[in-house]
Amino acid sequence: MNRKVVPHGNVPGAPVGAALVVAAGLAWVNGVLPIDLENPGKALAESVEEQSRQIMRNLDQLLSAQGLARQQVVAVAVHLRQMNRFAGRFEKVYAGFFEAPHMPTRSLVGVAELPREALVAMDFVVHVGS
């Protein structure tokens, strides 16, 4: 199996091993945090809504660098701190990320802690071809 690994770069606070891995017609984009990739030392936004939007901007940037687009995402895993406090607010923002007929499957998992005290982090599976 051919495998290609594209590191996210040297982003302070990013988990070790965060990368875009391409194999078998799919790409896995793991450990996407709400860090401003142009200014990684900048403090994270305070709201789960803005952190979620930043993650999608990061995803778009990572995908476009590989000639891919958000419409190719087939699965999303969302890691959310304080689900009882943020799930509803996150859901409202997430509803605008994808449009039919390009709606990926999604799981929402509550976690105790995330790097840089983020409120949300996401992993994506992207279809890249046969």
Give the domain range for residue 118: 3-127
Which of helix, strand or coil describes residue 9? Answer: coil
The structural domain count of the chain equals: 1
Q: Identify which of 24, 29, 31, 30 has the alpha carbon closest to the alpha carbon of residue 3.
A: 24
Q: What CATH number corresponds to the domain at position 123?
A: 3.30.1330.40
Residue 59 CB neighbours (<10 A): 22
pLDDT tens track of the chain, all 130 residues? Answer: 566 776 665 544 455 445 678 888 998 988 889 998 888 889 999 999 999 999 999 999 888 888 899 999 999 999 999 988 888 999 999 999 998 898 999 999 999 999 999 999 999 999 998 6
**pTM: predicted TM-score of the whole model, two decimal places:** 0.88
